[in-house]
Amino acid sequence: MRMLRIVPQKCTGCDQCRLVCSFVQTGEFQPSHAVIKVRSFEEQVRFSPYTCFQCAEAWCMKACPVNAITIDPNTEARVVVTPACLGCGLCTIICPYGTIYVNPTNHKATKCNLCHGAPACVKTCPTGAIEFVEVEEPQDWMGSWAEQNNQPFLLALARGDYNPEIQKERIL
Protein backbone atom coordinates (compact mmCIF):
# COMPACT_ATOMS: atom_id res chain seq x y z
CA MET A 1 0.00 0.00 0.00
CA ARG A 2 1.00 3.64 -0.28
CA MET A 3 1.10 5.98 2.67
CA LEU A 4 1.91 9.59 3.45
CA ARG A 5 5.39 10.15 4.82
CA ILE A 6 6.11 13.57 6.22
CA VAL A 7 9.57 15.10 6.35
CA PRO A 8 9.19 17.97 8.84
CA GLN A 9 12.72 19.26 8.18
CA LYS A 10 11.64 20.34 4.71
CA CYS A 11 8.50 22.18 5.82
CA THR A 12 8.53 25.98 5.44
CA GLY A 13 5.18 26.61 7.13
CA CYS A 14 3.44 28.01 4.06
CA ASP A 15 0.16 26.23 4.88
CA GLN A 16 -0.44 25.23 1.26
CA CYS A 17 -1.28 21.67 2.36
CA ARG A 18 -3.91 22.81 4.82
CA LEU A 19 -5.43 25.22 2.32
CA VAL A 20 -5.67 22.64 -0.44
CA CYS A 21 -6.84 19.94 1.96
CA SER A 22 -9.68 22.09 3.25
CA PHE A 23 -10.65 22.94 -0.29
CA VAL A 24 -10.68 19.30 -1.41
CA GLN A 25 -12.57 18.16 1.69
CA THR A 26 -15.06 21.03 2.05
CA GLY A 27 -14.98 23.12 -1.14
CA GLU A 28 -13.81 26.23 0.70
CA PHE A 29 -10.56 27.51 2.12
CA GLN A 30 -10.37 27.21 5.89
CA PRO A 31 -7.22 25.61 7.31
CA SER A 32 -8.89 24.60 10.55
CA HIS A 33 -11.26 22.35 8.57
CA ALA A 34 -8.36 20.54 6.92
CA VAL A 35 -7.54 17.00 8.04
CA ILE A 36 -3.83 17.70 7.83
CA LYS A 37 -2.50 19.94 10.58
CA VAL A 38 0.70 21.94 10.81
CA ARG A 39 2.12 22.52 14.24
CA SER A 40 4.31 25.62 14.12
CA PHE A 41 6.98 26.34 16.67
CA GLU A 42 7.14 30.01 15.94
CA GLU A 43 10.10 30.99 18.04
CA GLN A 44 12.31 28.23 16.61
CA VAL A 45 10.74 28.56 13.15
CA ARG A 46 10.13 24.84 12.91
CA PHE A 47 7.01 23.40 11.38
CA SER A 48 5.64 19.94 11.59
CA PRO A 49 2.73 18.81 9.43
CA TYR A 50 0.94 15.73 10.62
CA THR A 51 -1.99 13.71 9.49
CA CYS A 52 -3.37 10.18 9.71
CA PHE A 53 -0.88 7.61 8.46
CA GLN A 54 -3.57 4.93 8.15
CA CYS A 55 -2.21 2.88 11.06
CA ALA A 56 -2.44 -0.90 11.00
CA GLU A 57 -4.42 -1.03 14.24
CA ALA A 58 -7.14 1.31 12.85
CA TRP A 59 -8.35 2.28 16.31
CA CYS A 60 -11.03 4.59 14.95
CA MET A 61 -12.51 1.78 12.88
CA LYS A 62 -12.64 -0.59 15.83
CA ALA A 63 -14.16 2.00 18.14
CA CYS A 64 -16.92 3.14 15.83
CA PRO A 65 -20.24 1.82 17.24
CA VAL A 66 -22.03 1.98 13.88
CA ASN A 67 -19.27 0.75 11.56
CA ALA A 68 -19.10 4.09 9.78
CA ILE A 69 -15.36 3.74 9.21
CA THR A 70 -14.18 1.27 6.62
CA ILE A 71 -11.13 0.49 4.57
CA ASP A 72 -11.16 1.78 1.02
CA PRO A 73 -10.28 -1.27 -1.10
CA ASN A 74 -8.37 0.81 -3.67
CA THR A 75 -6.13 2.86 -1.41
CA GLU A 76 -6.36 0.92 1.85
CA ALA A 77 -7.13 4.23 3.52
CA ARG A 78 -9.39 4.16 6.55
CA VAL A 79 -12.30 6.33 5.46
CA VAL A 80 -15.41 7.71 7.11
CA VAL A 81 -18.70 6.88 5.44
CA THR A 82 -20.23 10.26 6.21
CA PRO A 83 -23.97 9.38 5.91
CA ALA A 84 -23.51 6.53 8.40
CA CYS A 85 -21.61 8.60 10.97
CA LEU A 86 -23.57 9.66 14.06
CA GLY A 87 -21.02 12.23 15.18
CA CYS A 88 -20.54 10.60 18.60
CA GLY A 89 -16.83 11.42 18.61
CA LEU A 90 -15.67 8.08 20.03
CA CYS A 91 -13.12 7.74 17.24
CA THR A 92 -11.56 11.11 18.13
CA ILE A 93 -11.17 9.97 21.71
CA ILE A 94 -9.60 6.63 20.93
CA CYS A 95 -7.23 7.70 18.17
CA PRO A 96 -3.81 7.78 19.84
CA TYR A 97 -2.42 10.13 17.17
CA GLY A 98 -5.22 12.72 17.30
CA THR A 99 -5.71 12.69 13.55
CA ILE A 100 -9.46 12.17 13.27
CA TYR A 101 -11.74 15.13 13.93
CA VAL A 102 -15.38 16.09 14.17
CA ASN A 103 -16.20 18.62 11.49
CA PRO A 104 -17.74 21.67 13.23
CA THR A 105 -20.18 22.39 10.42
CA ASN A 106 -21.83 18.98 9.84
CA HIS A 107 -20.82 17.35 13.16
CA LYS A 108 -19.55 14.19 11.45
CA ALA A 109 -16.18 12.56 11.80
CA THR A 110 -13.63 13.53 9.22
CA LYS A 111 -10.16 12.20 8.52
CA CYS A 112 -7.58 11.85 5.78
CA ASN A 113 -8.93 9.64 3.00
CA LEU A 114 -5.82 9.99 0.83
CA CYS A 115 -8.01 11.93 -1.64
CA HIS A 116 -9.02 8.57 -3.16
CA GLY A 117 -5.47 7.77 -4.18
CA ALA A 118 -4.10 11.15 -5.30
CA PRO A 119 -3.37 13.19 -2.17
CA ALA A 120 -3.70 16.92 -2.92
CA CYS A 121 -1.26 17.90 -0.17
CA VAL A 122 1.50 15.85 -1.81
CA LYS A 123 0.86 17.52 -5.13
CA THR A 124 0.80 21.03 -3.71
CA CYS A 125 3.70 20.90 -1.25
CA PRO A 126 6.38 23.10 -2.82
CA THR A 127 9.33 21.59 -0.96
CA GLY A 128 8.43 17.90 -1.04
CA ALA A 129 7.88 17.71 2.71
CA ILE A 130 4.94 15.35 2.18
CA GLU A 131 5.68 12.19 0.21
CA PHE A 132 3.34 9.46 -0.97
CA VAL A 133 5.41 6.30 -0.66
CA GLU A 134 4.99 2.59 -1.17
CA VAL A 135 5.29 0.55 2.05
CA GLU A 136 4.79 -3.06 3.10
CA GLU A 137 2.42 -2.16 5.88
CA PRO A 138 1.43 1.08 7.61
CA GLN A 139 4.14 2.37 9.86
CA ASP A 140 4.66 5.11 12.36
CA TRP A 141 6.98 7.38 10.41
CA MET A 142 8.00 9.62 13.29
CA GLY A 143 8.66 6.81 15.78
CA SER A 144 12.25 6.09 14.80
CA TRP A 145 13.04 9.80 14.50
CA ALA A 146 11.64 10.51 17.96
CA GLU A 147 13.48 7.56 19.44
CA GLN A 148 16.76 8.61 17.92
CA ASN A 149 16.38 12.20 19.10
CA ASN A 150 14.93 11.62 22.52
CA GLN A 151 16.94 8.67 23.77
CA PRO A 152 20.11 10.60 24.68
CA PHE A 153 18.08 13.04 26.76
CA LEU A 154 16.07 10.39 28.49
CA LEU A 155 19.34 8.68 29.37
CA ALA A 156 20.84 11.99 30.51
CA LEU A 157 17.77 12.66 32.59
CA ALA A 158 18.16 9.26 34.21
CA ARG A 159 21.84 9.95 34.86
CA GLY A 160 21.01 13.36 36.29
CA ASP A 161 23.18 15.46 33.93
CA TYR A 162 20.42 16.79 31.69
CA ASN A 163 21.19 20.18 30.14
CA PRO A 164 18.39 21.86 28.16
CA GLU A 165 20.85 24.08 26.24
CA ILE A 166 22.58 21.06 24.75
CA GLN A 167 19.26 19.55 23.84
CA LYS A 168 18.32 22.75 22.06
CA GLU A 169 21.51 22.72 20.06
CA ARG A 170 21.16 19.06 19.19
CA ILE A 171 17.63 19.21 17.92
CA LEU A 172 18.54 22.17 15.77
Partner 1 sequence: MGSFLGVVLHTDLANRKVWREELPSAWALKYLGGRGINARLLWDLAPQGVNPLGPDNPLILGAGVLTGTGAPLSGRSTVTARSPATGWYAKSSVGGHVGASLKFAGYDHLVIHGQSGKPVYVLIDDDRVEIRSAAHLWGRDTRQTTLQIHADHGPEFQVACIGPAGENLVKFAAIMCNIHSAAARAGVGAVMGSKHLKAIAIRGHKPVSIADPKRFWEMVWEARRNLAATPSARQKHNFGTAGGILALNELKANPTCNFRRGYFPETYQISGQRMTQDHYTKNAEACYSCVVACKRHTEQNTRDFGWVSSGGPEFEAVSSLGAGTAISDIETLLKGNELCNILGLDVISTGSLIQWMMENSERGLLTPEMKEGLSFDWGDSQTLVTMVRKIAYREGIGDVLAEGVRHAAGVIGGDSWKWAVEAKGLEQSRVETRSAKGYALGFAVNPRGPDHLHTQCMAEFGHRPAGVDLIEKITGDRKYANPYLTEKRAEIVRWHEDAYVLDDGLGFCSFATSVDFAIMPRLMAGFLRAATGMEVSEDETMSAGRRVVTLEKCLNVREGADRSDDRLPWRLMNEPSPDRPGAMNSKEELDGMLDEYYKAHGWDLRTSRPTRETLKALELDDVAEQLRALGRLPEEDTQ
- Per the CB < 8 A criterion, the answer to whether 9 and 149 are in contact is no
Contact 65, 22 (CB under 8 A): no
Complex with partner 1: residue 48 or 70, whichever CB lies closer: 48
Backbone φ, ψ for residue 114 (5° rounding)? 55, 25
- Min. distance of Cβ 56 from partner 1 in angstroms? 31
Per CB under 8 A, does 85 bind partner 1? no
**Residue choice 3, 6, 20, 122 for contact with partner 1 (CB under 8 A):** 20
Taking residues 95 to 114 in sequence order and writing x for each that binds partner 1 by CB under 8 A, - otherwise, the string is ---------x----------
- CA geometry: angle at 138 spanning 133 and 139, to 5°? 90
Q: How far is the CB of 144 from partner 1 (least distance, A)?
A: 22
Q: How far is the CB of 112 from partner 1 (least distance, A)?
A: 18
**Residue 45: CB minimum distance to partner 1, A:** 4
If one asks whether residue 131 binds partner 1 (CB under 8 A), the answer comes out as no
Q: How far is CA 55 from the centre of its chain?
A: 10
Q: Is 16 in the site for partner 1 (CB under 8 A)?
A: yes
Tell me whether residue 111 is exposed, middle or buried, using C-beta atoms within 10 angstroms of its C-beta: 0 to 12, 13 to 18, 19 or more: buried
Sign of the torsion formed by the C-alpha atoms of 34, 90, 54 and 114? negative
Interaction site with partner 1 (CB under 8 A): 12-16, 19-20, 22-23, 26-33, 40, 42-46, 104, 124, 126-127, 169, 172
